Amino acid sequence: MESASSSLVAQDSFLQRTLGRLSSTQSLKLSAEEADPVAIVALRRYLSEPTDGQNQEQQLDSYDVTITDGVWRAKCFLHPSLNQLVHRNALRTGSDVNIRQCSFVYNERRLGHGFICVEKVECIAEPSAVLPRISDVSSLPLLVKQGMERSADLQGDTPLQVSRKHYLPLWNNDDPEGDMWSPAQAAAEPVLDVSKVALLSTLESSFRGSWKPLPILVKIIHKSRLRYYGKFGQRIDYPYQAYFEVADQSGCMSLVLWNELCLEFYQRMTVGSVLYLQNYSLKQSYSNRSRPQMDHHRLRNFSSVEICLNPRNPAAVITVVSQKAVPPQWGLPEAAYRFTSRSELDRLPAGAACDVIGLVTFVGRVERVRSKGNKGPERFWTYRWVHAVDGTSNQPFILELFSSSQPEIFNQICPMTYLVCTQVRLCQVEDSPPYLTSSCETEIFITGQIPLIAASDLKRELESLQYREHKTVALQGQIAAVRHLETTCRAPPVPDDDPPASPSTDRRRADPKKRRIHSSTERPEHQTPPGEREEEEAREPAPLSWESSRWSEQRRRLSEHLSEGGAHQSSASRRFSSDQKNGLLQWCNLQPSRWSPEAAAPLPPQPCPGHLQLTILGINQQIAIDAAFLPVVCSDDPRAVGRCQDPHDNSMLSCLSTGLLCPLGGATRGRGLTLRESEEILATAQELEDKHVVCVLDLCRLDTDEVEVLVNKVYRVTDATAD
């Protein structure tokens, strides 16, 4: 590879020089004060290998990173000390880095295998200076140390740590990842002997006795998402599992696809597919798992045993039969659906499963939440909120969609497409409209409880957030200050002491503005007596803000003021435009694991609408945090859906507890708080003085240095219930 002849290779190459220096040095380690930038074109994750003295609680993910200097590509191992850069999306595909230290690592248990380990890097702000010069990254030669040209791990779709055979998705464990997953393809039209097939009804009765399995002919009526069960120290190459519900004329039964068979068949086995199965095994059903609701199929359910398709002992033989080759005489049931309209949804009991179809009107950004109760490596679920309408109600379907092992569909959901969701479960929340959440058996198709945390733990919660991880926390304390921010995303810091007045400041003081909180006794300026007018002009006008009477003193005693949060450009939703479809999808999806030259141009910056910034003082008055409050102000804001819209007086506490103004304005999505609305709200802010409240905050790390802190709701302690 290194000796490959290419016009590009004749150019000066930082990567080639680096590998040459690593080969000649005795320590196999290289540090550089100055380095040429290299671009990251791929970032791949997998479960790390166990090392001596490392236990299950210390296990980490490992990352392989493919970089290029524009002349060569190099597939390198990322040192575990740099994992935090990935967790915060500082080290990402499509960006440039400077490599400050690297080493060459030989595999002591395998001849002719080694790789570059990147140990220290300096991340460079986007956009990349390297990638625009490259027309086709895949055409660049791959840099390999001389004598290791046959190392398939460097060139193939497998990890550099040779005990691992496959990559995991970058941000969850539920999606197929890599080229080794066989894509959906046309089913075969084989000549089958169906004269000696067993019915599912006979399998249950023959499970306990000795039997020779006859072939079975079944149709898939439900399909679950992938389950990755890899663990630290486990020696299974492809620890995957997927459940299916299959049926024939006698009834239905669960089927389990195991390990490497998932890579070959999971994406080929779809709902409605007909399977001809041989060399399967039977085992007692695993009861501790979710199951689809199937009473609408009107089929007998054989739930005591399940069919197992294993790659060996015995090696199952799976034939996916083309629909064209399925005659009616086989008597296989049709896959049935239970579609529910939005007007019928309110009459369903909590937990009921249904299928829905609607036109998408709102798509939330993809966020991540940590999987609870996980004893293995740290895992995340990815999910997004979607609204869809079907014309039977003024209210949309509110859908909480988790990844369903269909990334090609999940990442393409956008407004003005039709969305079908199967096996979604109804969730009822007191004083709110119902919403639907996906289950393990949910499939999606498209066409054209909150922890109360201590203030001292809040900084750790913010710092531990990984890229696009979302958390909702509750904080006890009091609101010490509120101010209006207009068409900006983060307020500038407020100095403790007033700076010296500049000439422009003097002019502003001599020219009273309307940006003040008017009292009910204030008179128009033309009615003010001359003596009082001169005295009023000498006073500085009150800013559009409010502070507690004790905030100045409390601020001096703070041990920490977390002021870097609040709202950012990505906090404001954007109106969908067909012309900007690709850019909007890229904006709201997660950072891809592979850089693509076809990536859409960045969207123009969009400032946050007018909103209020709250300074929340912890109950022990040691820590304060700034958070943005973006109330719902118009009826077409997607956030208005699901909120109780009972009338209120637009006082500060009323707005904070409901999250909206009353009444809502007309269809002006994207509008924020106006100065006048903020003035009216801030005029009632005195009710916050020394008021003990519980603030529900939404935290999300949007990017490397952007942590979003939004006020969801504020409750007086007398209104909040302790659990």
What share of the chain has pLDDT > 90, as a percent? 53
Mean pLDDT score, 404-432: 93
SS3 for 409? Answer: helix
What is the per-residue pLDDT for 147?
77
Using CA of residue 214, residue 216, residue 222, residue 223, what is the dihedral sign?
A: positive
Q: Which of 102-106, 139-143, 385-389, 514-518 has the lowest mean pLDDT?
A: 514-518
Nearest to 332 by CA among 340, 341, 342, 321: 321
Residues 308-324 have a mean pLDDT of 93
Which has the higher per-residue pLDDT, 9 or 633? 633
Looking at residue 109, what is its pLDDT? 72
Task: For the beta carbon of residue 645, count every other beta carbon within 10 angstroms.
Answer: 14
**pLDDT over 50 (residue 386):** yes
Range of 31-35, 204-208, 306-310, 647-651 with top mean pLDDT = 306-310
Residue type, 93: T
pLDDT at residue number 148: 80
Cβ pair 496, 116 in contact under 8 A:
no
Helix (H) or strand (E) holding 426: strand 418-427
Integer Cα distance of 442 and 312 in angstroms: 29
Asked if the model's pLDDT at residue 489 lies above 60, the reply is: no
- pLDDT, tens digit, for every residue of 86-121? 999 999 999 999 999 999 998 777 777 889 999 999
Residue 675 to residue 443: CA distance in whole angstroms:
46
Closest CA to 694 of 722, 667, 675, 666: 722
Task: Please report how many Cα atoms fall inside a 13 Å half-sphere around the Cα of residue 703, on the Cβ side.
Answer: 13
Residue 7 reports pLDDT greater than 70: no
| Residue pair 682/670 in contact by the 8 Å Cβ criterion | no
- The reported pLDDT for the residue numbered 233 is 76
Compare 384 and 541 and report the one with higher pLDDT. Answer: 384
Which of 200, 45, 37 has the alpha carbon at shortest distance from 133?
37
**Interatomic CA distance for residues 613 and 609, integer angstroms:** 12
Q: Residue 144 above 80 pLDDT?
A: yes
**pLDDT (0 to 100) of residue 58:** 57
* Alpha carbons 582 and 578: distance in angstroms, whole number: 8
Residue 670's pLDDT is 66
Looking at per-residue pLDDT, the higher value among 352 and 532 belongs to 352
Instruction: Give how far the C-alpha of residue 699 lies from the chain's centroid of Cα atoms, to the nearest Å.
Output: 13
Helix, strand, or coil here: 153? helix
Using one digit for the tens of pLDDT, what is the confidence trace for 648-672? Answer: 899 999 999 889 898 887 766 667 8
Q: Model confidence at 508, in pLDDT bands (50, 70, 90)?
A: very low
Residue with tokens 């109330």: 631
Rg over alpha carbons for the chain, rounded to the nearest Å, is 30
Locus of tokens 């999808």: 585
pLDDT at 112: 76
Q: Give the pLDDT of residue 521.
A: 34
Q: Which two tokens stand for residue 251?
A: 């009834």
pLDDT digits (tens, 9 = 90+) for 40-54: 999 999 998 766 555
What is residue 621's predicted lDDT score, i.e. its pLDDT?
Answer: 92
Q: How confident is residue 456, by pLDDT bands cut at 50, 70 and 90?
A: confident
Question: How much is the pLDDT for 54?
Answer: 57
Q: What is residue 69's predicted lDDT score, i.e. its pLDDT?
A: 94
User: What is the residue type of 255?
Assistant: L
Instruction: Find the mean pLDDT for residues 368-392.
Output: 85
Question: DSSP 3-state assignment of 295?
Answer: helix
Mean pLDDT of 371-390: 83
User: Which two three-digit tokens encode residue 476?
Assistant: 């006890």
**Stronger pLDDT, 523 or 644, i.e. the higher one:** 644
Q: Is the pLDDT of residue 482 over 90?
A: yes
Q: Which residues pair with 618 in a beta bridge?
A: 477
Instruction: Please name every residue paired with 255 in a beta bridge, in sequence order, or none if there are none.
Output: 244, 307
Grouping H, G, I as helix, E, B as strand and the rest as coil, residue 132 is: helix
Per-residue pLDDT, 451: 75
510-512-517-520 Cα dihedral, nearest 10 degrees? 110
The predicted structure's pLDDT at residue 216: 95
CA distances from 695 to 559, 572, 691 (A): 20, 21, 12
Omega prior to 663 cis, within 30 of 0: yes
- Give residue 514's pLDDT band: very low, low, confident or very high (50, 70, 90): very low
Q: In a 10 Å sphere around its CB, with 0-12 CB exposed, 13-18 middle and 19+ buried, how is residue 391 labelled?
A: exposed
- Please tell me whether residue 113 adopts helix, strand or coil conformation: coil
**Average pLDDT for 403-409:** 95
Predicted local distance difference test score (pLDDT) of residue 506: 40
- Between these two residues, 537 and 448, which has the higher pLDDT value? 448
Between 517 and 556, the higher pLDDT residue: 556
**Cβ 98 vs Cβ 39: under 8 Å:** no
DSSP structure string for 552-580: HHHHHT-SEEE-S-S--GGGS-----GGG
Cβ contacts of 559 within 8 Å, gap of 6 or more: 622, 623
| Whole-number percent of the chain with pLDDT over 70 | 85
Neighbours of 513 (CB within 10 A): 11
**Is the pLDDT score of 207 beyond 80?**
no
pLDDT tens track for 156-189 = 788 998 788 999 999 999 999 999 998 877 776 7
Answer whether residue 492 shows pLDDT above 60. no
CB 170 within 8 A of CB 261: no
Comparing CA positions, the residue from 172, 167, 181 lying closest to residue 42 is: 167
Domains of the chain, each with CATH number or no CATH: 14-155 (2.40.50.140), 200-330 (2.40.50.140), 342-446 (2.40.50.140), 471-494+543-572+607-716 (no CATH)
CA distance between the termini of the chain:
63
Q: List, as own/partner pairs, every contact residues 14-17 make where C-beta atoms lie below 8 angstroms and the sequence separation is at least 24, other chains included.
A: 14/38, 14/69, 15/67, 15/68, 15/69, 15/71, 15/72, 15/73, 15/74, 15/143, 16/71, 16/72, 16/143
Q: Which of 366-380, 392-406, 462-476 has the lowest mean pLDDT?
A: 366-380
- Mean pLDDT over the full length of the chain: 84
* Whether residue 520 has pLDDT greater than 60: no
**What does the alpha-carbon distance between residue 689 and residue 480 come to, in Å, rounded to a whole number?**
8
Answer whether residue 396 shows pLDDT above 90. yes
Longest Cα–Cα distance in the chain: 109
**Is pLDDT above 70 for 694?**
yes
